[in-house]
Structure 1
Amino acid sequence: MPLSSVTISLVPEARGGPFVFWDDLPAACAAAQQLGFDAIEIFPPGPEAIDVAAVRQLLGEHQLQLAAMGTGAGWVKHRLHLTHADPTIRTRAKDFIRSIIDTAGPLGAPAIIGSMQGRWGEDVSREQGFAWLGEALVELGSYARQYNVPLIYEPLNRYETNYCTTVQQGVALLQQAGATNALLLADLFHMNIEEPDLPAAIRAGGGYIGHIHLVDSNRRPAGLGHLDFAPLAAALRDINYSRFLSAEALPYPDSYAAAQQTIETFNKFFKL
């Protein structure tokens, strides 16, 4: 059975982005426990913002798991990505991701690579960009193995990347690169833009799907857009998905209400 999670952003530069809770980690954990979530997903500005011992204690107090930790601040805050033409930037990007792996791994959680994949174009050809991205997924996935967690790679919609925009393309990248300790993040918002049939894409992704962002078509909390969650839940049952569905949605109309709306949708469709 899938598990529920809710996002918490600690990055001021990401203000306005699709994260349910903001800034106050203890308060967000208390709300997550009260609403019945199984876990939280943290979006930190960097490893220095996370005291692993303190977070472990906080999770224990509120009977929560850490579902994942995002690396997006590497791009949003530090302007780093894995396919930059400058090799120094690419190295710094991998170092940043390793630091997040070293922070999340001891807490039993994977790191997510989304916006830090970058874009090809101008000084970087499509072929070269894909080669660098694939090599990074292999290298960083191997690094994450020491914590017995995978690396999570997220296909994004066409407006945010020109690498992988569908689950099928993400599977092909992992296979061609030989990334044996990397899985895909299936984000329902991005999928709603790019996939002609979301349940079919989930079934085709099968065992490569290691994390899901639960959100509606308009980036609002699940149940406040036009996605049909019943066939999505059926597809997840068909692939025996038992990992996290994490609410990465706008805090609409406010953080608590967004989290409450999400857990109600999760309980209705996915907690079977």
Structure 2
Amino acid sequence: MNSPEIACGVNVYCSGPDAPDLPAALDDMAGVGYSHIALSPFSKDDLDVAALKKALADSGVRPIPMSGQAPDANVSSPDEAVRAKGLDLLKSSIDLAHELGADQLNGVVYALFGDHQEPFSAERIAESARLVGQAADYAKGAGIRMTFEVVNRYETSMLNTAVQAIDYVRQSGSDNLFVHLDSYHMGIEEADIPAAVRSALPVLGYLELGQSGRGSLLTGSVDIRGAVQAAKDAGYTGRFGLEAFTRQLLPAGGANGLAIWRQTYTDPHALAAEAVDIVRSVYAGQ
């Protein structure tokens, strides 16, 4: 079986899409074997999009942008006007992804990141799914596959498991909405990571590899190789992603928001190479 495409999270190497060392990071990613870079959220007003497009084109690494929601633009809000702005925000993210030449959009698109004070009602989840489904249909018209990331209970109280995500896709009514599972979050929320991967397979659009300590995939409590093996055995042919964070490479606000309090690794190249080796060796049957 051919090895699937693999994306590297931008923060594995640098602070974000506007980092001055991004072109060097892209070149190293390409050399290691990455086909894509998963970008952290950014505003078109705060970034030289033309420069980013040039750096991507020069490296041959393709972008996977990330979308999200804001306090005043949130599809899970009880306020109808705020929900409408949330849909508009998703559509603007899709437009930007199209401008960058992306064919996939990731992100926590269904609720405000960090909203975990109380459970969401079934009605608010259904309305969020309906609106995100509309965004996914809009993305389909732009040739973009829309995925949403399932995160842990400390980052949202809406969707924490593969089972919940599968039902959310069903409620969306869209055939262009897919699930993004992350082994870091699954290590917190899932009783059986391989079973979660298998259950989501029909709608699994992105499988991200992240270790419990947010650093090297080779050291931590999550069986990364087992997650990849489960995906292969289930017939998964979609993209994998690598995600890791270390405090010295992140902006202070981003590090604090993600609770990255320490240096988890020092060599981005080595960490990135480990992930490619794991995926390729599993798919090669080694």
Tell me whether the two structures share a fold, i.e. TM-score over 0.5.
yes
SS at match of 2:180: strand
Candidates 262, 265, 271, aligned match of 1:253: 265
The number of residues matched between the two structures is 258
Match for 2:34: what amino acid? F
SS at match of 2:65: strand
Compared CA separation, residues 63 and 271, structure 1 to 2 (3 A): farther
Give deviations 1:43-91, integer Å, cap 9, x for gaps.
Answer: 132233455554443223212222x21114x44xx66432123333323
Candidates 51, 67, 79, aligned match of 1:71: 67
Match for 2:65: what amino acid? M
Residue 158 in structure 1 maps to residue 149 in structure 2: no
Candidates 40, 45, 48, aligned match of 1:43: 40
- Partners in 1 of 2:120 and 2:162 — Cα distance? 22
Equivalent pair of 1:113/1:152 in contact (CA under 8 Å) = yes
Compared CA separation, residues 172 and 262, structure 1 to 2 (3 A): same
Residue 34 in structure 1 maps to residue 6 in structure 2: no
Taking only the aligned residue pairs, the percentage that are identical comes to: 23
- Partners in 2 of 1:83 and 1:146 — Cα distance? 24
Structure 1 gaps of 5+ residues are: 10-18
Residue 96 of structure 1 deviates from its aligned partner by: 1.9
Candidates 129, 132, 155, aligned match of 1:137: 132
Equivalent pair of 1:97/1:111 in contact (CA under 8 Å) = no
Give deviations 1:170-224, integer Å, cap 9, x for gaps.
Answer: 0111113312210000111111111111111111111200012211122223222
Candidates 246, 256, 262, aligned match of 2:275: 262
- Partners in 1 of 2:245 and 2:212 — Cα distance? 11
Partner of 1:224: 219
Residue 8 in structure 1 maps to residue 33 in structure 2: no
Compared CA separation, residues 125 and 163, structure 1 to 2 (3 A): closer
Compared CA separation, residues 40 and 178, structure 1 to 2 (3 A): same
SS at match of 2:38: strand
Partner of 2:258: none
Worse overlay, 41-50 or 261-270: 261-270
Compared CA separation, residues 125 and 248, structure 1 to 2 (3 A): closer
Partner of 2:102: 108
- Partners in 1 of 2:234 and 2:14 — Cα distance? 30
Candidates 87, 97, 103, aligned match of 1:94: 87
Residue 131 of structure 1 deviates from its aligned partner by: 2.1
Give deviations 1:82-114, integer Å, cap 9, x for gaps.
Answer: 212333332322222211111113413222231
Structure 2 gaps of 5+ residues are: 247-263
- Partners in 2 of 1:116 and 1:169 — Cα distance? 12
- Partners in 1 of 2:35 and 2:130 — Cα distance? 33
Residue 228 of structure 1 deviates from its aligned partner by: 2.0
Match for 1:100: what amino acid? S
Worse overlay, 46-55 or 139-148: 46-55
- Partners in 2 of 1:268 and 1:146 — Cα distance? 36
Match for 1:230: what amino acid? R
- Partners in 2 of 1:149 and 1:249 — Cα distance? 25
Over the aligned positions, Cα root-mean-square deviation in angstroms equals 2.6
Compared CA separation, residues 20 and 79, structure 1 to 2 (3 A): farther
Compared CA separation, residues 160 and 120, structure 1 to 2 (3 A): closer
- Partners in 1 of 2:241 and 2:139 — Cα distance? 21
Match for 2:180: what amino acid? L
- TM-score normalized by the length of structure 2: 0.79
Compared CA separation, residues 27 and 48, structure 1 to 2 (3 A): farther
Equivalent pair of 2:6/2:239 in contact (CA under 8 Å) = yes
Equivalent pair of 1:250/1:258 in contact (CA under 8 Å) = no
